[in-house]
Structure 1
């Protein structure tokens, strides 16, 4: 992921009000982020634990969304819709977000299951187990990284109203 500055991040949000953007707290480790190891920037707000933020490059520009964690219990362990990691070393939570523009002002939302602390980029970079003799683990890792990027971009497009 290309690095971003604070001003660019705040202005990238497509479903947040000016007040929500100004109240947003950037990640504590923002100044030391390894941008090369990220497919998107995602973090939880320390002051408002129910809020999450995700920013990714879509269509040649950074696009950010404000997410709200929804409380609830699931019958089984959910799988992250973004990294699709089956060996999750972390929790997955349900996030809801209002759509951008007029649909969002009318109450339309989009929901997804995401790693609780947005560890998706780290999850897809772990080498997968060898599935069979001759299995190319590096190719599998590259494929998982591409799938994560596609899943995040698809979600951002849904929030932005670019897909039905």
Structure 2
């Protein structure tokens, strides 16, 4: 991912008002992010821990962002949960059902869409964990490349649902 300015992020939200976008708190490490190793940028608002943000730059250079809400009390399952974006399996407290208002009138009418996402949005790091080399995965780098593409595709599908598609 190429570096994205705070202004571009604030202007790219599908489901947040201008005032909500202008008040968002950027991640503490925003100025030192490792942009080259990110396919998505996500973070929890340090001042409002139930609020999250997801930023996705498409291959055509456009940036799409969504405002998300986590459930009160975190995850409530007694089993491991699969993140729908990176497909990494985590303990019950590491994945939340993040919910986004739909874009446009549908969202203003109260319609939402949700998906299971890593609680701290570490999906880009998760897909980069190389599996051990074996008969099933003879080329770990190829597996990582497939995971990265899968993360991008699934993120775009979720954003399309927020958009109303």
Q: Same fold (TM over 0.5)?
A: yes
Change (3 A) 1:131 1:102: farther
Aligned-pair CA distance for 1:129:
2.9
Show structure 1 runs of 4+ deviating over 3 A.
none
Matched residue, 1:97: 100
1:3, 1:99 → 2: CA distance? 26
TM-score for both structures, normalised by structure 2:
0.91
- In 1, Cα distance between equivalents of 2:64 and 2:137: 39
Kindly indicate whether residue 87 of structure 2 is the aligned counterpart of residue 84 of structure 1. yes
User: Where does the alignment leave 5 or more consecutive residues of structure 1 unmatched?
Assistant: none
Partners of 1:25 and 1:134 in 2: CA distance:
40
Once residues 21 and 134 of structure 2 are traced to their aligned partners in structure 1, the CA distance between those partners, rounded to angstroms, is: 45
Q: CA deviation at 1:39?
A: 0.2
Give how far 1:132 is off.
2.4
Alignment of 1:39-50 (within 5 A): 39-50=39-50
The structural deviation recorded for 1:86 is: 3.3
- Taking structure 1 as the reference length, the TM-score comes to 0.91
Distance verdict in 2 for CA 1:155–1:80, change over 3 Å: same
2:163 match:
160
CA 134–156 in structure 1, closer or farther in 2 if over 3 Å, else same: closer
RMSD: 1.7
How many pairs were matched up?
161
Contact 2:82 2:90 in 1 (8 A): no
* In structure 2, C-alpha distance between the alignment counterparts of 1:113 and 1:50, rounded to whole Å: 14
